[in-house]
Chain A
């Protein structure tokens, strides 16, 4: 199963539309939490919003999770060690108040298990890849460096 989530704050119809077009070729159920996005998506199993329990259940049972480039989603993928495909929201398309998700996507693009879909072709390729590597719970070098600095400050 593919689980798609756009978060609770803003709609993201571009991602849901793209999934609706891809779904017939994927031979896999696609469950999509769409928030306030508006549209007609017959190929998807649509949920408006989810309780934290339902969110966790869908997230952990999915083969792959596809989402906007939200920090919460990225941290959840690390915590539950899931392959995550992210589609950054773009300011120019009215999808967020600024382009911070592009910055986040560039930052996490090299992280194991976090796969950025910069366009619809990327999205198709990533979602049809059979063995997408999962995100890792292990702290990145940057995370370890932050911990080290805090330790040093606390202990002096």
Chain B
């Protein structure tokens, strides 16, 4: 049975990596969320929605960012939530888990030495918590299965 998958990444490298994971979603009902208008069209990622960006340096922006994200998620009711980063993705995993979804964190391949800050936040709410670097995965108790490189 097709599942509803919510796939979320911030604009830039995180999004590029999420797009490279698309073959894993084939046959399922996917909605893509990102922070940069225009980006989903550039990659032909439909359906999609834009959520406001936020990071740890702008604590006030986290509230509207979280509220809009939550509203989207309550409407879509995902079975699976997957993110490659950054903070909005970690929040989506937390909301998803609270809603009963299964959650996947794939830490950005840019983090060859240690897990990203948002990856560390996502750890407690990710059912599947992965690094794309074998040594980083081993040192942190994450799972390693490969990388988009």
Tell me the A residues contacting B by CB distance below 8 Å. Answer: 70-72, 74-75, 98-100, 103-104, 107-108, 111, 139-151, 153-155
Contact = CB atoms under 8 A, between A and B. Distances in A.
Contacts of A99: 113
The contact size tier of chain B is: 20 to 34
Contacts of B145: 145-146, 148-150
B80 interface: yes
Interface of B: 3, 5, 12-13, 16-17, 20-21, 23-25, 28, 80, 82, 102, 104, 106, 108-113, 127-128, 130, 132-133, 143, 145-149
Given A98-B113, A100-B112, A146 B21 contact: yes
B13 A147 contact: no
Contacts of A145: 145-146
Given A103-B113, A150-B104, A153-B128, 13 more contacts: A71-B109, A75-B20, A75-B148, A100-B111, A100-B112, A103-B112, A107-B147, A140-B149, A142-B149, A143-B149, A149-B130, A150-B82, A154-B104
A72 B15 CA distance: 10
Contacts of A144: 146
A153 B145 CA distance: 12
Contacts, number: 86
Interface centre among A107, A141, A148 (most CB of B within 10 A): A107
B132 A146 contact: yes
B48 to A, nearest CB: 18
B35 to A, nearest CB: 15
B113 A142 contact: no
A20 to B, nearest CB: 28
Contact of B21 (A108, A140, A150): A150
Contact of B108 (A71, A140, A150): A71
A108 B128 CA distance: 25
Contact of B13 (A75, A140, A151): A75
Given A142-B147, A146-B132, A146-B148, A153 B112 contact: no
Contacts of A100: 110-113
29 contacts: A71-B17, A71-B108, A71-B109, A72-B16, A74-B149, A100-B113, A103-B113, A104-B109, A104-B149, A107-B133, A107-B147, A107-B149, A108-B149, A111-B149, A143-B20, A143-B147, A143-B148, A146-B21, A146-B130, A146-B146, A146-B147, A147-B21, A147-B23, A147-B24, A148-B145, A149-B143, A150-B21, A153-B102, A154-B28
A149 B122 CA distance: 19
B104 to A, nearest CB: 6
A75 B17 contact: yes
A116 to B, nearest CB: 13
